[in-house]
Amino acid sequence: MQPNPKEMKKPRIGVYVCWCGTNIAKMVDVEAVAAQVEQFPDVALSRNYKYMCSDPGQDMIIEDIKEHKLDRVVVAACSPRMHELTFRKALSNAGLNPYMFQMANIREQVSWVHVNREKATRKALSLLAGAINRIKWHESLDKRSVSINDATLIIGGGIAGLSAALEIANAGKSVYIFEKSDKLGGMLNNIDQLYPKMEMASAIIDPLIDKVTRHKNITVFTGRKPDEIFGYIGNFETYLDETRSPESTLKFGAIIVATGLKPFDPSPVEEYGFGVLPDVITSIEMESLLKSGDIRTRTGRVPKHIAIIHCVGSRNEKYHEYCSRMCCMTALKQARQIKDALPESSVYEIYADMRAIGKGGEEFYAEGFKQSNTFIMFDQKRGMPRVRESDPGELSYTR
Ligand code: SF4
Ligand code: SF4
């Protein structure tokens, strides 16, 4: 139940804004932020200091708590992952309940990620104002021990979920896997060979599925997703059917979300004609052709020229600005497989930047030259390559 604000004692909040040397102070006007929040109701004092986590910084908080009878403390500094415990200990040392503390992250979430000092200062002030409002609702807490359930629920039965399941189960703990499709294995079921060693994907995933399904500590639920999950860290539960009876209750203490990937839909990239030109296909569709061992166009012809376009939907501000880090290697791998299957064909790698990421990636890239594949570079900023139909059944590409 929420405490009634009228019954609450008027808080006395101490606020500390950290410079982190120049880490925060170069991008946030820490003095202005500290001065502004000092005017907030219930803020008894507000200070800024170069290194709040240092011994002098902590001593300052301890002395202020005693001298100014502070009953709540807010520190605007780095991530709570770094120093929340440090400051909680300082509160304890001053005789204050350590949970009467709140941190605002103005380093990782502000100074490190912004380039405009004015806007960064405004955001820091806003985060700090939120922390100050929140701490008014804090209540003293006591530590207590609760037993935890050491079973794990894994959502997703692909390579990540299965590998995690096996590790945990081999450590003697129970594992429940929920896989929404009717088959374990996930995306690897659709892949033919894996780079850079070119081993068959099935040689990796099939034995793993076998080990998981036979393991005495692992229970697999295929064709379903967990509906609702209740509880808290260490003690979660879900129901296996509508009856919601104790028999249908599954209990576990940890959850691993391994729900896999969703391939990018290239239809919005008009230049490539995906969805309009029938022989423009995705790399996942190409995997099916490679896996079948019968590479043909939609009209049933064996292709003589195959172009593989890189960076589709990546490294482009209209779609995703980041590099997805795996499609260069996928393209190189598929080029190699096509060349092996159709030695007379010409394969063109149309790329923006070659990022042969991972162990053995560069060597794998170099192999592409030995196979006489043609590498054509483009710059997305100067215009996308355009795919069009030239002769019926043939595609051509222009820059
Ligand atoms: S409290 Fe965090 S932000 Fe401040 S000096 Fe220490 S590490 Fe830097
Ligand atoms: S540079 Fe390579 S790995 Fe990165 S997005 Fe483009 S194709 Fe993918």
The tens digit of pLDDT for each residue in 128-161 reads 999 999 999 999 999 999 999 999 999 999 999 9
The answer to whether 234 and 348 have CB atoms below 8 angstroms apart is no
The predicted-structure confidence for 336-376, as pLDDT tens digits, reads as follows 999 999 999 999 999 999 999 999 999 999 988 787 789 99
Ligand 1 center–CA 138 separation, angstroms: 23
pLDDT score, position 394: 67
Q: Which residue's CA is the nearest one to ligand 1's atom 4? A: 20
Among the atoms of ligand 2, which is closest to the Cα of residue 353?
1
Predicted confidence at residue 3, as pLDDT, reads 56
3-state secondary structure of 290: helix
pLDDT given for residue 279 in this prediction: 94
The pair of structure tokens assigned to 268 is 């919005």
Residue 5 has pLDDT above 60, yes or no: no
Question: Which pLDDT tens digit goes with each residue over 210-243?
Answer: 999 999 999 999 999 998 999 999 999 999 988 8
Residues contacting ligand 2 via CB (< 6 Å): 310-311, 314-315, 323-328, 352-353, 355
Q: Hey, which of 15, 82, 128 would you mutate to test ligand 1's pocket, going by the most ligand atoms within 8 Å of its Cβ?
A: 82
- Position 384 confidence tier, pLDDT thresholds 50, 70, 90: confident
Q: What is the pLDDT of residues 252-262, one digit of tens each?
A: 999 999 999 98
- Taking residues 274-292, report their average pLDDT: 95
Distance 312 CA to ligand 2 centre (A): 8
Instruction: Give the Å distance between the CA of 265 and the centre of ligand 2.
Output: 16
**Residue 396 clears pLDDT 80, i.e. is over it:** no
Domains and CATH numbers, the chain: 9-135 (3.40.50.960), 152-257 (3.50.50.60), 270-398 (3.50.50)
**Residue matched to tokens 């196979």:** 371
Q: How far apart are CA 76 and CA 93, in angstroms?
A: 20
Q: What are the Cα distances from residue 240, in Å, to 159, 165, 168, 246?
A: 24, 19, 22, 10
Test site for ligand 2: of 310, 312, 326, 362, most ligand atoms within 8 A of the Cβ:
310
Best mutation site among 51, 85, 101 for ligand 1 pocket (most ligand atoms within 8 Å of CB):
51
246-272 burial code (b ≥16 CB/10 A, e <16): eeeebebbbbbebbbeeebebeebebb
pLDDT at 260: 92
* Ligand number, closest to the Cα atom of 103: 1
One-character DSSP codes across 156-217? --SHHHHHHHHHHHHTT--EEEEESSSSTTGGGGG--EETTTTEEHHHHHHHHHHHHHH-TT
pLDDT score at 392: 61
Give me ligand 1 centre to Cα 123, in Å: 18
pLDDT score, position 393: 59
Per-residue pLDDT tens for 159-208? 999 999 999 999 999 999 999 999 999 999 999 999 999 999 999 999 99
Report the nearest-CA residue for atom 4 of ligand 2.
Answer: 323
Residue-averaged pLDDT of the chain: 94
Tens-place pLDDT, residues 10-59: 999 999 999 999 999 999 999 999 999 999 999 999 999 999 999 999 99
Ligand 1 center to residue 71 CA distance, Å? 22
- Please tell me the distance from the alpha carbon of residue 379 to that of residue 399, in angstroms, as a whole number: 9
Single pTM value for the model: 0.74
pLDDT at residue 65 is higher than 70: yes
Q: Which residue has the CA at smallest separation from atom 8 of ligand 2?
A: 327
